[in-house]
Amino acid sequence: MTQIVRVEEIHKYVDQEVIIQGWVYNRTHKGKLVFLLVRDGSGFLQCVAFKNDLEAELFDQLTRVPQESSVIITGKVRADQRAPGIPGGYEVGVTHAQILQAPEEEYPLALKEHGVEFVLDHRHLWLRMPSQWAILRIRATVISAVREWLDQNGFINMDTPILTPAACEGTTTLFETPYFDEGVAYLAQSGQLYNEANIFSFGRVYCFGPTFRAEKSKTRRHLTEFWMVEPEAAFCDLDQLMEIEEQFVTHILKRVLKERKAELASLERDTSVLEKIEPPFPRISYDEALEMLADIREKTEDSELREQLQIEWGMDFGSPHETELTGRFEKPVFVYGYPTQVKAFYMEPWPGRPEVCKSVDLLAPEGYGEIIGGSERISNLDLLRRRLHEHNLPEDAFRWYMDLRRFGSVPHSGFGMGIERTVSWITGIKHIREAIPFPRTIKRVYP
């Protein structure tokens, strides 16, 4: 019996007859030949129908089969370097074909240029395009590699709540929802605080889930709903945290480079820059970063850039700063020791320099900027209480969190990596909205 085969496995079936189940992505007709580019979810494959091999009526149907028709194709596999497709290099000589459903209307995403808003409105169809397919396949591998590395390195998966009573990353970006007699609840900005409880039982943990930020930012790096993986470790200081991060990120890169070659190639991603990345990653302090920025400002001829890079000690970096900084490194770069005033309430102060905290951001090269934010956490109860007050956070909501400093407090650290930021960097895309199947931004909750 003829086997149903997935396109990504087609190389194993040369000279055999196989069945491909999929959709017609593109069709060209040249005399006695019809070329169908068929996608089946695992790849894109050229299927060639030759008039003399098929019944006249079927061949005629194939000459007209519309884009996105669902089809079942039977045929013989041939290796041919020239055959287009993803990964390409193979084609099927059609011996039989069944058209399950052929669109009767014009397909909205016909193969031509479309505007950004138009494709976003048709995200449910846009997902079928090779670029989107490749990006989201890479995303799945990133997620698989994330879990694999953490699972193999002693981190226990702990799912943290989405409905939460308080802010973690600042009160200005909270999504609020009515919550029975309790008044309101907020969608989680981070699972970190709960993970800090979890490490006292499990040592090393991670949570991984959707994260919500009512960010007013309309940049190509911001979503209102994104996925974040947050590892947290007991008995871990800032230096140890950076070692974990660089191993983790390198593992993810290696998996993608190994398993998603065809997808990266189809996106025309220059992978040579990714291949060079190995630990250790460079580490610079916030103060050093400011010096580098001052130097860049001094040397640039571009007055607009000089304006954008204007910064004083105590200010957070914006996208232009991160872009310029990472442009100077071939690897991701750690920037540690940010001013306390721009970071969250829970960060451990720098010994002898309370205006600086033991935070670290990991900035991706090629201008991609922050993909990871992390820190050592405050372990002293009195200091934590003071910080909550300074940040106007209600002590009552943090009673349980303060208990963690009462019963067996230890130095501990953790970080959060944004999946879509990471996928944007690895795939080399310009806008984060393509790194998630159905993006949510300030201006969009449809489809």
Binding residues vs ligand 4AD (CB under 6 A): 168-169, 190, 192, 213, 215, 222-223, 226, 228, 230, 370-374, 414-418, 420-421
Q: Are 169 and 374 in contact (CB under 8 A)?
A: no
Residues 6+ apart with CB under 8 A from 167: 174, 186, 189, 393
Q: Which residues of 258-277 are buried (b: 16+ CB within 10 A; e: fewer)?
A: ebbebbbebbebebeebeeb
Residue 374's binding partner, choosing from ligand 4AD, Mg ion, none, with beta-carbon cut-off 5 to 8 A by kind? ligand 4AD
Residues 6+ apart with CB under 8 A from 390: 345
- Segment contacting Mg ion by CB under 5 A, of 105-113, 204-212, 248-256, 365-373: 365-373
Residues 6+ apart with CB under 8 A from 84: 37, 44, 46
Q: How many residues touch Mg ion (CB under 5 A)? A: 1
Residue 414's binding partner, choosing from Mg ion, ligand 4AD, none, with beta-carbon cut-off 5 to 8 A by kind? ligand 4AD
332 versus 418: smaller Cβ distance to ligand 4AD:
418
Query: Closest distance between ligand 4AD and the C-beta of residue 421, in Å?
Result: 4
53 versus 215: smaller Cβ distance to ligand 4AD:
215
Residue 169's binding partner, choosing from ligand 4AD, Mg ion, none, with beta-carbon cut-off 5 to 8 A by kind? ligand 4AD
User: Which residue do the tokens 């974990």 mark?
Assistant: 244
332 versus 414: smaller Cβ distance to ligand 4AD:
414
Query: Closest distance between Mg ion and the C-beta of residue 383, in Å?
Result: 21
Q: In angstroms, how far is CA 101 from the centroid of its own chain?
A: 34
Query: Closest distance between ligand 4AD and the C-beta of residue 48, in Å?
Result: 43
244 versus 362: smaller Cβ distance to Mg ion:
362
Q: What are phi and psi of 339, to 5 degrees?
A: -60, 135
Q: Which of 2, 3, 19 is nearest to 97 (CA)?
A: 19
Query: Closest distance between ligand 4AD and the C-beta of residue 65, in Å?
Result: 40
In the shown chain, the binding pattern of residues 371 to 390 toward Mg ion, with x for contact by CB under 5 A and - for none, equals: --x-----------------
Query: Closest distance between Mg ion and the C-beta of residue 417, in Å?
Result: 10
Query: Closest distance between ligand 4AD and the C-beta of residue 423, in Å?
Result: 10
Query: Closest distance between ligand 4AD and the C-beta of residue 196, in Å?
Result: 9
168 versus 174: smaller Cβ distance to ligand 4AD:
168
Query: Closest distance between ligand 4AD and the C-beta of residue 167, in Å?
Result: 11
Residue 439's binding partner, choosing from ligand 4AD, Mg ion, none, with beta-carbon cut-off 5 to 8 A by kind? none
- Segment contacting Mg ion by CB under 5 A, of 20-28, 34-42, 297-305, 367-375: 367-375
Q: What are phi and psi of 387, to 5 degrees?
A: -65, -40
| Per-residue CA distances from 377 to 21, 63, 141, 237, 380 (Å) | 52, 65, 30, 9, 9
418 versus 439: smaller Cβ distance to Mg ion:
418
87 versus 374: smaller Cβ distance to ligand 4AD:
374
Residue 230's binding partner, choosing from ligand 4AD, Mg ion, none, with beta-carbon cut-off 5 to 8 A by kind? ligand 4AD
Q: Strand 176-179's sheet: what is its strand order? A: 163-164, 183-187, 176-179
Residue 250's binding partner, choosing from Mg ion, ligand 4AD, none, with beta-carbon cut-off 5 to 8 A by kind? none
Residues 439 and 223: their CA atoms lie apart, in Å, by: 7
Residues 262 and 268: their CA atoms lie apart, in Å, by: 10
Residues 6+ apart with CB under 8 A from 279: 243, 246, 247, 250
Residues 386 and 399: their CA atoms lie apart, in Å, by: 13
93 versus 210: smaller Cβ distance to ligand 4AD:
210
Residue 421's binding partner, choosing from Mg ion, ligand 4AD, none, with beta-carbon cut-off 5 to 8 A by kind? ligand 4AD
Query: Closest distance between ligand 4AD and the C-beta of residue 117, in Å?
Result: 20
Cα first-last separation, the chain = 42
Helix (H) or strand (E) holding 390: helix 381-390
Query: Closest distance between ligand 4AD and the C-beta of residue 219, in Å?
Result: 9
244 versus 372: smaller Cβ distance to ligand 4AD:
372
Residues 358 and 214: their CA atoms lie apart, in Å, by: 26
Residues 304 and 309: their CA atoms lie apart, in Å, by: 9
Q: Are 193 and 400 in contact (CB under 8 A)?
A: no
Residue 425's binding partner, choosing from Mg ion, ligand 4AD, none, with beta-carbon cut-off 5 to 8 A by kind? none
93 versus 165: smaller Cβ distance to ligand 4AD:
165
Residues 406 and 382: their CA atoms lie apart, in Å, by: 10
Binding site for Mg ion (CB under 5 A): 373
